[in-house]
Each structure stands twice: as structure tokens, then as C-alpha cells.
Amino acid sequence: MKSFIKKSWAEPYKMKMVELLKMTTPQQRKKALAEAGYNTFLLRSEDVYIDLLTDSGTSAMSDQQWAGMMMGDEAYAGSRNFYHLEEVVKDIYGYKYLIPTHQGRGAENILSKILIKKGDIIPGNMYFTTTRLHQELAGGKFEDIIIDEAHDPENEFPFKGNVDLSKLEKLVKKYGSKKIPYVSIATSVNMAGGQPISIKNLKELRAFTKKHGIPIIHDMTRVAENAHFIQQKETGYHDKPIREIVKEICSLTDGATMSAKKDALVNIGGFLAVNDWNVFEEARNLVVVYEGLHTYGGLAGRDMEAMAIGIGESVSDNHIHARVGQVIYLGEKMMEYGVPIVKPIGGHGIFVDAKKFLPHISQDNFPAQTLAAEVYLDSGVRTMERGIVSAGRKANGENYYPKLELVRFTIPRRVYTQAHMDVIAESTARVFEHRHKIKGLKMIYEPKYLRFFQARFEKI
């Protein structure tokens, strides 16, 4: 007899140690927020109850990883942990050559400096803040070639990270393939809401770029989460293990930058991995200038060991199912309360549509920044703006006006429980109830680069 009882997922781990959380009063939060210039990046984490600012470097490491930390070989050159990491990257991702870096942007800097010349065009499936900035600082210009669906929070297309090949073709026609050093492809497109790219689309992109002699560089920061959506939603992949899908994704690209602070379950670390010896040789030289010797790249031996072990854990089906399952649980709760979120639910967090949530606040008064502040005030839950403040300014000084004006509720891996998810959804719903009374913000301090990190605001 077929059973109609639901089969739930559960965390494939249990707790061995806990970190106590600090609770704050509304008065304390009001004061802390004003002191932080209404920017959640400027809050002290001590004043935060549930921290959903980012999933970057905020994961809980396993006992295996902690044990690995004790096995750190802190030699300046040729650390055993480097060779272990190199072996794991080759085995699990399949890239030939590895350059460790202190985190993702360290790899982006080196790669951009090597591949981009002044006047080059770098097409990509939506920008990411640090990635685009390094491309621009190297003299290039980013061009968005993601499918239009990605810019529409309501559109439920399952692979909103896909590339629109006709957009790429137009760029190749306009500039010529010589001006395009590579196509920049992210798995689990962060700024679109953690939206995946399909294998089918990647294969089509591979065929197109091959014809034009253009390499593909993979921002593989959240590749395992992308693989989960391929397994769940792409025809022919339902029975494939995450590990195999991850390897297939990587095999369709020529190199990668990685922020290991996300998928790979470590608090610090990253790398550049490439298949081309010449690029590797140059990177191996340049890393010495910016990060450290090529066998440590700004990391301690113990950090490389924790990363090597974390990469192995990150491609486990049970892990990724529970990880994304928790995100989906939160998203569904929010939808029950009528909170407008980006659909389909992505891999690393819930992205609340601030334009829909606060339609009476114009984009010049920062609806997403305002909403992030209000959620903090309500419950001490810290989230992040991903809208006009994050988008920054163009080279000519004008603001970018992104279609997506979002607040990201990013879920750290293996850190919070389902009960925390309930508290978060309820707090957001409470703010939604009194949304009509909320007023916007004005910016009173704006730094030149990546302004969202340090900008300050005032209530209007």
C-alpha cells in the first residue's frame, strides 16, 4: 500500500557544542541601528540575534574539519595541507591547477589582471559586486547576458541563472571575439536570488564559445547548491549524485574562482583553479605579489586542511538536501504570510522583494535598505540589502537602477534550526503588517568602492 505520510528531511548531523545568542530589547536595537547609520553591515554582531547578513564564512565546521585544523602544517613553503587541497580540487572539481587565495575576491583580482585588457568586454550571467569591480579595475566592462526572466522576481522559470545566447551573440558581433577574454559564469546566481543555471544551457554555451574561441570562467562559489537544483529539476539528472553533477558542471568550463567561505564550509579561504598552463604560470607568479606564496595564498596550513575536508562534505547529497531544504522551509513560511519573495526559492537564502513590500518608497529612498533596517528593529534579525545601494554607480557616476530591489535573508550552513526559521518568518510578517507606516532613508555618506559595505543613512 502506498503511504500518504510525508517524508521529511532532517539535518544529517547533531550538535556537540553550542554558541549562546544574545537577546536585545527594542530600545537597544533602535540605538544600535542609529549608530550603525541604518546599515546592517555596520552593526556589531553582538547586537544581533539571528544573523542572516551572509552565508559567507558563517558556516559551522564539522568535527572532522576541526580535527583537520589541528593537522595544520604551518610551513611557509610546500605545506602538506596545500597538496591535500590540490588533490581534492582535482578529484572533486576536476580542474588541473590550483592557486589558493585568502578568499574569492583574491582569486578574482589575480584572474582579472591576467586575462583582461583595457577596453575588453566581459559578458556574464548577472553581475556580482566584487567580481564586476575587479573586471572594471582591470580595464574591462561587464555586460549582463542572463535571461530576462532573472530580472523578474515573479517568474517561476526553474533555471533563472541561464545565459541568453542571443545576447552573447550580439556582443560577439558588435565587439568581435578578440575583445572578449572570457565569459564569466556563476553557478547559483547570487544577485538573482541564488538561481541555478542548467546543464543544458551550459552545454549550449560551451558549444557557442568553442566556436568563437572564448573561454568560460566559472564563479563556483555555490556550485553544489546549483547541482542540487539540477538534480531536482533537470531532465535526466534525478538519479545522479551531487558529486557527479558538480564535476560535470566544472568540466564544461575552463577555470574557476572560488570563495570557499560558502559551499566549502570554511570561515576563510578561496582559490583560483585553471586548466591552462600559461594562465596558471602567470597566476602562480602574481599570487606572490597580492596574497602570499603559491602554496598558501594568504591562508594558514590549517585553513587549507579545513577547506579540503569541507569540499568533500559539501558534495554529499544528504548535506545539500538539508541545506537547501531549510532555505525552502523559510521561503514557504514567508509566502504563507503573504510576504513577496523571489521565486522560485534559491539555494542560499530568501530574497524579499522590497519594491513589492514597500511600493510607496521610491528606489531613490532605498526600499531594501529600509526594509533590512525594519526587520532588525523588530527582532534583531540581521539581513542584507541587495538593490540600488549594492548596485553602486557606473563609470560615468550615474547610479545603476537595478530591476531587482531585494533584501537577502541568507542562511548560514549548519548553524540555525527550524525554530529559528519560524522566528524569522514571523518577524518579517509583523513588519509586513505595518508596512504602510514605514518611511524611506536618505544616504548621508557614500564610499567610492562597494558602497553598500560602509554607506550611512538617515531616516526621512
Which range of residues in 37-45, 102-110, 373-381, 438-446 is near ligand F0G by CB under 6 A?
A: 102-110
Cα(371)–Cα(389) distance, rounded to whole angstroms?
Answer: 13
User: Site for ligand F0G (CB under 6 A): which residue of 39, 79, 109, 131?
Assistant: 131
Does residue 187 belong to the site contacting ligand F0G (CB under 6 A)?
Answer: no
Does residue 270 belong to the site contacting ligand F0G (CB under 6 A)?
Answer: yes
Question: Helix, strand, or coil here: 100?
Answer: strand
Pick the closer one to ligand F0G by CB: 106 or 440: 106
Cα(265)–Cα(61) distance, rounded to whole angstroms?
Answer: 6
Is 386 an annotated catalytic residue? Answer: yes
Which range of residues in 114-122, 123-131, 395-403, 432-440 is near ligand F0G by CB under 6 A?
A: 123-131
Is 76 an annotated catalytic residue? Answer: yes
What's the angle, vertex CA 193, arms to CA 191 and CA 199, rounded to 5?
A: 95
Pick the closer one to ligand F0G by CB: 270 or 380: 270
Does residue 383 belong to the site contacting ligand F0G (CB under 6 A)?
Answer: no
Number of Cβ atoms within 10 Å of the Cβ of 398: 8
Least distance between ligand F0G and beta carbon 220 (Å): 9
Does residue 130 belong to the site contacting ligand F0G (CB under 6 A)?
Answer: yes
Cα(391)–Cα(237) distance, rounded to whole angstroms?
Answer: 35
Does residue 105 belong to the site contacting ligand F0G (CB under 6 A)?
Answer: yes
Which range of residues in 62-70, 98-106, 164-172, 298-306 is near ligand F0G by CB under 6 A?
A: 98-106
Contact in structure between 257 and 108 (CB atoms under 8 Å):
yes
The residues facing 443 across adjacent strands are: 457
Is 257 an annotated catalytic residue? Answer: no
Is 303 an annotated catalytic residue? Answer: no
Is 413 an annotated catalytic residue? Answer: no
The residues facing 384 across adjacent strands are: 408
Cα(85)–Cα(21) distance, rounded to whole angstroms?
Answer: 34
User: Site for ligand F0G (CB under 6 A): which residue of 43, 52, 111, 186?
Assistant: 186
Based on its alpha-carbon atoms, the radius of gyration of the chain, rounded to whole angstroms, reads 21
Contact in structure between 43 and 382 (CB atoms under 8 Å):
yes
User: Site for ligand F0G (CB under 6 A): which residue of 56, 201, 370, 427?
Assistant: 56
Is 284 an annotated catalytic residue? Answer: no
Contact in structure between 410 and 383 (CB atoms under 8 Å):
yes
Q: Which of the following is catalytic: 40, 129, 209, 410? A: 129
Q: Which residue is at the shortest CB distance from ligand F0G?
A: 104
User: Site for ligand F0G (CB under 6 A): which residue of 104, 301, 310, 392?
Assistant: 104
Which range of residues in 18-26, 43-51, 125-133, 336-344 is near ligand F0G by CB under 6 A?
A: 125-133
Which range of residues in 25-33, 97-105, 196-204, 278-286 is near ligand F0G by CB under 6 A?
A: 97-105
Pick the closer one to ligand F0G by CB: 221 or 365: 221
Contact in structure between 224 and 263 (CB atoms under 8 Å):
yes
- Residue 32 neighbours by CB under 8 Å, 6+ apart: 24, 43, 44, 47
The residues facing 412 across adjacent strands are: none
Is 262 an annotated catalytic residue? Answer: yes
**H helix runs in 192-254, sequence order:** 199-212, 223-233, 242-251
Least distance between ligand F0G and beta carbon 191 (Å): 8
Closest CA to 256 of 343, 388, 390, 131: 131
Least distance between ligand F0G and beta carbon 56 (Å): 4
Pick the closer one to ligand F0G by CB: 79 or 257: 257
Cα(454)–Cα(460) distance, rounded to whole angstroms?
Answer: 19
Contact in structure between 188 and 194 (CB atoms under 8 Å):
yes
Does residue 54 belong to the site contacting ligand F0G (CB under 6 A)?
Answer: yes
DSSP run (H or E) holding 255: strand 255-259
- Map residues 200-239 to x or -, x wherever contact with ligand F0G holds by CB under 6 A: -------------------x-x------------------
Does residue 259 belong to the site contacting ligand F0G (CB under 6 A)?
Answer: yes
Beta strand 50-51 with 381-382 is: parallel
Least distance between ligand F0G and beta carbon 69 (Å): 19
Pick the closer one to ligand F0G by CB: 184 or 428: 184
- Residue 148 neighbours by CB under 8 Å, 6+ apart: 164
Least distance between ligand F0G and beta carbon 58 (Å): 9
Does residue 271 belong to the site contacting ligand F0G (CB under 6 A)?
Answer: no
Cα(389)–Cα(368) distance, rounded to whole angstroms?
Answer: 9
Contact footprint for ligand F0G (CB under 6 A): 54, 56, 103-105, 128, 130-131, 186, 190, 219, 221, 259, 261, 270
Q: Which residues are catalytic?
A: 76, 128-129, 219, 262, 386, 452
